[in-house]
């Protein structure tokens, strides 16, 4: 029986993480792998790792995280926003890695067929602390800064040609909704995204203000609305299994060395979904 595995937040440019990619290996020749974003910040590093994983697994499905969408001075690829995303999609197609822009694959090895839906939906700053509700966006961001947290996206994740990250998110939600609604009704789904689709995984955040950069209220019911068997995500660097409305949520992130080195179980670069 083939396995469906998942990983995310490999952050291979951080010293100590690159060798762990060697542990991301299948158990059978027919195993699939879901890569839920944040492979690296540099485009060539992202594609290089995905190419290696595709050589090992029968099928690889990738969604972008915020780090893939960063435009930094050290990256030879200086494309920004939508153009950067489209560049990564085209490069993935060259190495036979599926993306949110490709036909959704179907996992046929459960009781009913499961459509794997790779989703790129971003965030829109709607997940706020009670004291930030009703504030203008800049005031909410400033409140987070004063609490000691500010996402690096504010400097490197450009929404071009959209006027804002919220506008880009709104368009991605619209695109994703239309594709999800087209999935056959007799199919269950595996919803795969970098940012969690439901807010409950953000509850353990040391800085609750960081939830601003973690998702959108627009996707809160998608696990029910689109018949999810499981929702796979990363971003938070809190690898664990949780449940909402009877649906399993799996955070599959590896995280930074400074994080996984503190855990008794060490790094977990691969999680079995089915």
| Beta carbons within 8 Å of 215's beta carbon, 6+ residues apart | 123, 126, 127, 195, 196, 197, 198, 199, 202
Provide the pLDDT for residue 130: 95
pLDDT digits (tens, 9 = 90+) for 63-72: 999 999 999 9
Q: Which residues of the chain have pLDDT under 50?
A: none
The answer to whether the beta carbons of residues 189 and 229 sit under 8 Å apart is yes
Q: Is the peptide bond before 143 cis (omega within 30 degrees of 0)?
A: no
128-131 contacts at long range (C-beta below 8 A, 24 or more positions apart): 128/211, 128/212, 129/208, 129/209, 129/211
Q: Cα-Cα-Cα-Cα dihedral of 175, 222, 122, 216, to 10°?
A: 120
Provide the pLDDT for residue 118: 98
Q: Cα-Cα-Cα-Cα dihedral of 233, 236, 239, 240, to 10°?
A: -80
CA-nearest of 20, 15, 4, 5 to 254 is 20
Give residue 163's Cα distance to chain centre: 23
Provide the pLDDT for residue 120: 98
User: Hey, what are 257's tokens?
Assistant: 């060395």
pLDDT digits (tens, 9 = 90+) for 193-219: 999 999 999 999 999 999 999 999 999
- Give strand pairing partners of 83: none
Provide the pLDDT for residue 164: 98
The answer to whether the beta carbons of residues 65 and 223 sit under 8 Å apart is no
CATH number of the domain encompassing residue 206:
3.60.21.10
User: Hey, what are 179's tokens?
Assistant: 């594709």
Provide the pLDDT for residue 125: 98
Provide the pLDDT for residue 226: 98
User: Hey, what are 2's tokens?
Assistant: 């083939």
Provide the pLDDT for residue 81: 98
- Domains in the chain, number: 1
Provide the pLDDT for residue 15: 93
Provide the pLDDT for residue 191: 98
Q: State whether the Cα torsion 105-216-172-48 is positive or negative.
A: negative
Tracing tokens 């689109």 back to the chain, one arrives at: 226
Tracing tokens 């780090």 back to the chain, one arrives at: 67
Provide the pLDDT for residue 215: 98
- Give strand pairing partners of 116: 190
Range of the structural domain that residue 178 is part of: 4-272
Provide the pLDDT for residue 101: 98
Provide the pLDDT for residue 98: 98
* d(C-alpha 68, C-alpha 174), whole Å: 22
């Amino acid at each position: 029986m083939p396995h469906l595995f998942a990983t995310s937040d490999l952050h291979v440019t951080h010293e100590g993480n690159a060798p762990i990619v060697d542990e991301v290996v299948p158990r059978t020749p027919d195993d699939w792998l879901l890569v839920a974003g944040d492979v690296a910040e540099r485009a060539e590093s992202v594609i290089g790792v995905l190419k290696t994983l595709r050589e090992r697994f029968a099928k690889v499905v990738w969604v972008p995280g915020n780090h893939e969408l960063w435009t930094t001075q050290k990256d030879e690829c200086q494309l920004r926003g939508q153009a950067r995303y489209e560049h990564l999609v085209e490069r993935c197609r060259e190495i036979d890695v599926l993306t949110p822009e490709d036909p959704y694959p179907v996992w046929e090895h459960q009781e009913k067929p499961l459509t794997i839906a790779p989703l790129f939906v971003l965030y829109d700053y709607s997940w706020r602390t009670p004291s930030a509700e009703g504030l203008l966006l800049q005031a909410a961001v400033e409140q987070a800064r004063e609490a000691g947290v500010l996402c690096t996206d504010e400097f490197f994740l450009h929404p071009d040609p959209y006027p804002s990250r919220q506008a880009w998110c709104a368009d991605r939600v619209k695109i994703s909704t239309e594709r999800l609604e087209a999935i056959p009704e007799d199919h269950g789904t595996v919803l795969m995204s970098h940012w969690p689709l439901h807010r409950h995984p953000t509850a353990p955040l040391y800085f609750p203000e960081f939830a601003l950069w973690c998702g959108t209220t627009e996707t809160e019911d998608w696990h029910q609305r689109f018949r999810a068997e499981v929702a796979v995500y990363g971003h938070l660097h809190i690898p664990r299994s949780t449940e909402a409305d009877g649906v399993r949520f799996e955070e599959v992130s590896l995280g930074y060395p400074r994080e996984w080195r503190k855990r008794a179980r060490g790094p977990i670069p691969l999680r079995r979904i089915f």
